[in-house]
Structure 1
Amino acid sequence: MTYVVTSRCVGTKETSCMTVCPVDCILDIGEQVVIDPVECVDCGACVDVCPVDAILHESEVDDPAVVADAYGRFGLAAP
């Protein structure tokens, strides 16, 4: 299980989440940031600093397509 950056990040892309991540698993891909699900250690530090509440634990995401996309960006299948 990992955290997912939702579409709320698009256009805002405030990167304090990247600064607090202890394993540098949050990447800037242009219009938003994404979390590498392999590298994420599920600490939740990014959630606390996101000003637009764009980061959710994948278990809190209602749309399975959002989780699938988050994993798919890294060539992975969602669990």
Structure 2
Amino acid sequence: MGNPHAVAVLDEPVGNVKLSRLGPLLERDGRFPEGVNFEIVNVLSRNLIKVRVWERGSGPRRGVWTGRAQRRS
């Protein structure tokens, strides 16, 4: 299956989400028989996002990341 990811884009700040509660439920969800990495995202601007990650088999990744995205033509 590769390395599956599920991403949720939220209006609520990602720092407010109880990822330690939500992550295990999604990782074992029946729609992902081999487990899934789960990211919650806030879009801060056209080129900036804030992300928290639940890694399949490892749990929450430490910290909250911001990142920039650029569309390639």
Question: Fold-level match, TM-score > 0.5?
Answer: no
Q: TM-score, normalised by structure 1?
A: 0.28
Indicate the structure with greater strand content: 2
Indicate the structure with greater helix content: 1
Greater RCO (CA < 8 Å, at least 6 residues apart): 1
Q: Rg larger in 1 or in 2?
A: 2
